[in-house]
């Protein structure tokens, strides 16, 4: 098999992975092993920022993020110990990624929640006016220092 054929197959595979993850509305290397391998084998030049998860019980948890990460990515990439968080992996079917923003941070979020997110939020415990689903929040450098509160209990809507 020629080298160019192998290159073609690799590019084709990566493209398929990108399409697959885009269709799931989740541009994330977690869902594609080859993208993950490429990502982790490259030097990480992107600047890192920090956010904090405030828990009802337990110490606050600080975690690093890069621009373009969702809050769900932050939990996964930092192995943040939030039991059951992000159970549906960002497919908007569980509401376990519920977080509560401070009012001023909530008002600065670039996008309003979609109808699908609002439907799922209705099933979350401890819902507030500043609640969002972490899998739907994409972070930028403007979120450096962000603090979000994590409810004391989660509801996996798939089990209702």
DSSP 8-state symbol, 151: P
Out of 97, 99, 121, 154, which residue is the one contacting ligand FES (CB under 6 A)? Answer: 97
Does 75 engage in binding with ligand FES (CB under 6 A)? Answer: no
Closest residue to ligand FES using C-beta atoms:
135
| Binding span for ligand FES by CB under 6 A among 16-24, 48-56, 92-100, 140-148 | 92-100
Taken as a whole, the chain contains a residue count of 160
Interaction pattern, residues 16-55, with ligand FES; x per rule: CB under 6 A: ----------------------------------------
**Closer by beta carbon to ligand FES, 47 or else 159:** 159
Using an 8 Å Cβ cutoff, are 151 and 56 in contact? Answer: yes
Out of 135, 137, 139, 148, which residue is the one contacting ligand FES (CB under 6 A)? Answer: 135
Question: According to the 3-state scheme, what is the secondary structure of 131-147?
Answer: EEEHHHCECCHHHCCEE
Using an 8 Å Cβ cutoff, are 66 and 53 in contact? Answer: no
Exposed/middle/buried for 97, CB within 10 Å: 0-12, 13-18, 19+? buried
Task: Count the alpha carbons within 13 Å of 62 in the hemisphere toward its beta carbon.
Answer: 5
Out of 94, 139, 146, 148, which residue is the one contacting ligand FES (CB under 6 A)? Answer: 94
51: its two tokens: 């956010």
**Closer by beta carbon to ligand FES, 132 or else 143:** 132
Beta strands 146-150 and 98-101 are: antiparallel
Q: How far is the CB of 87 from ligand FES (least distance, A)?
A: 6
Give the footprint of ligand FES on this chain (CB under 6 A).
72, 86-88, 90, 92-97, 120, 133, 135
């Amino acid at each position: 098999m020629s080298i160019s054929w192998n290159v073609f197959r690799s590019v084709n595979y990566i493209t398929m992975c990108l399409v697959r993850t885009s269709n799931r509305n989740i541009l994330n290397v977690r869902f594609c092993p080859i993208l993950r391998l490429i990502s982790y084998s490259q030097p990480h030049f992107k600047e890192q920022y920090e956010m904090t998860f405030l828990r009802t019980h337990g110490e606050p948890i600080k975690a690093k993020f890069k621009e373009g990460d969702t809050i769900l990515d932050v939990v996964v990439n930092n192995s943040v110990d939030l039991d059951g968080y992000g159970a549906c992996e960002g497919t908007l079917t569980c509401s376990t990624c519920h977080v509560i923003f401070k009012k001023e941070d909530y008002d600065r979020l670039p996008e309003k929640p979609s109808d699908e997110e609002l439907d799922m939020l209705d099933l979350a415990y401890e819902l507030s006016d500043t609640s969002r689903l972490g899998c739907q929040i994409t972070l930028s450098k403007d979120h450096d220092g962000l603090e979000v509160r994590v409810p004391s209990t989660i509801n996996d809507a798939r089990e209702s």
